[in-house]
Amino acid sequence: MQRVLHILATRRAAIAVTAAVILTLAGFAVWAARTTYQSVNNVQRLTAINDAFQDARHAIAQENLAARRYQLRNEPVHIREYDQARAELNKSLTTVSAQGSPHDVHVAATIARQNQSASAWFAKLPATLQTNDIIKIDALTDGRLQPLFDSMAATLNSSGREHSEAAFASLAQSRRSERVVMAITVITVALGILLLWAASAAMRYRERLERVRQRELERLKRAALTDSLSGLGNHRAFEEDLQRYLDRAAESGAELSLALLDLDGLKQTNDAHGHQAGDECIRSVATALHEAGPGTSAYRIGGDEFALIVHDRRAVDTLYLVQHLQTHMTASSETWPVSASGGVAESCSTLGRDGLIRRADLALIQAKRSHRRCLLYNEALEPTLSTPDQAAEQRHTDALATALARAVDAKDAYTHSHCETVSELCGLIAEELGMGALQIGRLRLAGLLHDVGKIGITDTILQKPGPLTDDEFAVMKTHTRLGHAIVSAAERPIEAGWILHHHERIDGGGYPDSLAGDQIPLESRIILVADAFEAITADRPYRMHRSADAAMTELERNAGTQFDSECVAALGRVVRPHLRQAA
């Protein structure tokens, strides 16, 4: 009897111990699950605050960009952009104040005060710009506004990093709690059916939390870095990626080019056909950029503004790429006409992210003003202290020159954008040879109009799909004198002289005057090299285009006889680095 009682007592004790262990493990599992739930909630809260800080940083950048653009173009639209960015900043700071800690509330209040001060200085910018006093303008923008923007950006970046670190710490705590839950589950399965039920419940709870967390993280990532309409990266992704790619290019010595594109006539399309038509135009541009090929990253950085980061290519290669994409945009749109102006700039070791964006933006602004499809940045595009009348006259001249060049290209269906491309190549060669900004500007104009005399050549000769007869070639050679007469009549005698002699050869075998060597103006020699390079790399009715490498080989083979050796070498320095890497 005592033995039975002893066994019963032992079993009761075992049951009691087992029950105590089960209850203890179950309680511990509940505690771990609750800790996991709290960690997930904390991650969501910290992520929301971090997003608000990032949105505030983006708004500060937009305010800074609007102020810079207003300084450059002095247009009311940039004041509205500044006000919109300021409203977004206030919205983000309100979110921080509502959900953040006392420290976050203090940071938000500090940023609000600094931004109010920056807005007060921005309000003084229109009056200061009217004085045309560069010292006062620089003192206001670089001495007052920029330090405030830099200070706010630094504060917001620091706060954002703190919340990101806190969020990662909460995620780590959540994962540790989950591991505890898993360990308890294994133990409770061994102890009995009751613990098995608890483990099953804990697993279901964990899986639900994990799905919720993954969906939330994926949604936040897409919302933070993707434009919903176009499917391209948004402005935040563009700024982050561009800085990362520039750092990588600086370390490796690789080339990096930036193209900014502006959709033409989006407002008019929206007004005439509705925003659905405008959205279709935006998607057409996005489709073309999506198909830009490997080594490119595309973004929509504004309502009608797009960016294309091109890796391991020089500016001239990106120019050809943008021209191809512009043609694809026009061909792919079945309902509404779609076109976009472009500006291209190339990075260098001394140029930061903002400087590269500014150069591409200057090229884009000038392209839109002169109605060009795409321009490459060069020093001639930098704003000068000209009067409004002089600026308006220059824009009028550029627009007329572009119209004449397009008339020439339209007359010959096989020379699409030939004149505009030759103009950009002339600018690259001249810059490589160390010419000044004024001289580069004149040379680019001459390159744009070098074939204007072909307007007077009959279509049967101009569009003949094969070699010309001697008589036909004699007629074709008259286009240099016709072009000289047209440009001279436009009161551009210097450029007219360069156009007259752009088919002279170094060995004296050219036309119209059989000049040789240094008798030929250097600018005419540059135009000849650029014209030949573009002709070789473009399709013609009697042959397919050849690669840029093959074109350079052909030019170098004829350097010293047909072409100027220094001009050929300068063009080679512009295009050869990319070709070596591609090989």
What are the b/e assignments for 421-433, b being 16+ CB within 10 Å?
bbbbbbbbbbbbb
In percent, how much of the chain has pLDDT > 90?
Answer: 19
CATH number of residue 414's parent domain: 1.10.3210.10
Six-digit token pair at 459?
A: 């279509």
| Residues 13 and 93 grouped into a single domain | yes
| Residues 214 and 233 grouped into a single domain | no
- pLDDT at position 259 over 90: yes
Residue 1: the pLDDT is 41
**Spatial strand order in the sheet of 256-263:** 296-300, 305-311, 256-263, 340-346, 374-376
Last residue of a domain, one of 347, 377, 407: 377
| Residues 303 and 447 grouped into a single domain | no
Q: How confident is the model at residue 429 (pLDDT cuts 50, 70, 90)?
A: very high
Residue 578: the pLDDT is 45
Give all strands (DSSP E) within 294-453, no chain letters: 296-300, 305-311, 340-346, 374-376
Helices 479-489, 493-500: crossing angle, 10 deg rounding: 180
| Residues 85 and 98 grouped into a single domain | yes
**Side chain identity, residue 556:** E
CATH number of residue 157's parent domain: 1.20.120.1730
Say how many domains are in the chain.
3
Q: How confident is the model at residue 399 (pLDDT cuts 50, 70, 90)?
A: low
Count CB neighbours of 240 within 10 A.
Answer: 15
| Residues 246 and 141 grouped into a single domain | no
| Residues 218 and 244 grouped into a single domain | no
Instruction: Count how many Cα atoms sit within 13 Å of the Cα of residue 582 in the half-sphere of its side chain.
Output: 16
| Residues found in the chain | 583
Last residue of a domain, one of 225, 241, 261: 225
The predicted model gives 371-400 an average pLDDT of 67
| Residues 269 and 216 grouped into a single domain | no
More confident residue, 124 or 481: 481
Tell me which residue range forms the domain holding 207.
2-225
| Residues 134 and 30 grouped into a single domain | yes
Last residue of a domain, one of 338, 358, 377: 377
| Residues 98 and 182 grouped into a single domain | yes
DSSP 34-91: HHHHHHHHHHHHHHHHHHHHHHHHHHHHHHHHHHHHHHHH--HHHHHHHHHHHHHHHH
Distance, in Å, from the CA atom of 474 to the CA atom of 469, rounded to the nearest integer, reads: 9
Residue 303: the pLDDT is 85
| Residues 202 and 121 grouped into a single domain | yes
Distance, in Å, from the CA atom of 531 to the CA atom of 401, rounded to the nearest integer, reads: 17
User: What distance, in Å, lies between the first and last C-alpha atoms of the chain?
Assistant: 96
CATH number of residue 342's parent domain: 3.30.70.270
More confident residue, 297 or 156: 297
Residue 16: the pLDDT is 59
| Residues 372 and 394 grouped into a single domain | no
pLDDT tens string 188-226: 666 666 555 655 665 776 677 677 778 777 766 666 778
pTM: 0.57
Residue 487 Rama label (left phi>0; alpha psi -120 to 50; beta): alpha
The predicted model gives 444-454 an average pLDDT of 87
| Residues 333 and 395 grouped into a single domain | no
